[in-house]
Amino acid sequence: MKKINCLFSVILLIFCFSIPSYSETKNITFGVGAGLGIPLGDWSDVYNVGFGLKGNVFYSIRPQIDIVGNVELYHFTGGEEYSLLGVVEYEWDYSLTRLCFAGDGRYTFTGKVKFFGQAGLGLYYDMSKVESDLFGSESDTETNIGFRFGGGVAFGNIEIIGIFHLVEDSNMLTINALYRF
C-alpha cells in the first residue's frame, strides 16, 4: 500500500509542477467532427455501419499531453426479411442510437506529421428500437461503461482518428475526421 501511495504522490507532484510551467500558452481547444461507426463481433450481425457526429474539448497539460473530453452520437440501422412457411412474409427493422460521454488521455508524438495515441473511459447510453410488420414494435434503453483506445494523425487543424470502443456485448470501431480550432 505504501508503494501505491508513493507512486500516486509522485504522479500528483509531476502534474502540479508541470501545469504552471506550461500555463502561458493556449491550453483549451475545441473540435467537431463526423465519421463512421463499425459494429464488431456479434453486434455486426444485427447492425450495419453507422454514421456519427462528435464534439471534443482538449485541455493541454504539456505540449504533447492532452486530456480530451468527448461527446459522440452514432446511429445504426439493420433489418431482416423472413417467410413463415412460405405463406406469411414479414420484416424486422432495427435501429440503435448511441450517445457517449468519454474522457481520454492523449500523447502526441513530435514531427512534421503528428501521430497520437489515446485511451480512456466512456459512459455509453444506447437507445434501441425493433419494428416488425407482424409483431409490432419494441424499444429499450441501456447504459454501460466502456474502455476505449486508439490513435490517429493530425495535419494542422485536421485530425483523422480511429477508436476501438469495448462496451460489454456491443464493441465498435469509429473512424472520424475532426476539425480542431
Q: Could you list the mean pLDDT of each consecutive 10-residue stretch along the chain, which spans 181 residues? A: 45 48 70 97 92 97 94 95 78 94 96 93 96 88 97 95 95 97 92
Domain-located, residue 161: yes
Domain-located, residue 136: yes
Domain-located, residue 6: no
Integer Cα distance of 164 and 171 in angstroms: 7
Integer Cα distance of 28 and 26 in angstroms: 6
Q: How many domains does the chain have?
A: 1
Q: pTM of the predicted model, to two decimals? A: 0.81
Integer Cα distance of 129 and 78 in angstroms: 10
Domain-located, residue 46: yes
Domain-located, residue 60: yes
Domain-located, residue 16: no
CATH of residue 116's domain is: 2.40.160.20
C-alpha distances in Å from residue 94, one per residue of 49, 97, 165, 167, 169: 13, 10, 21, 19, 16
Domain limits for position 94? 25-180
- Residue pair 71/55 in contact (Cβ under 8 Å)? The answer is yes
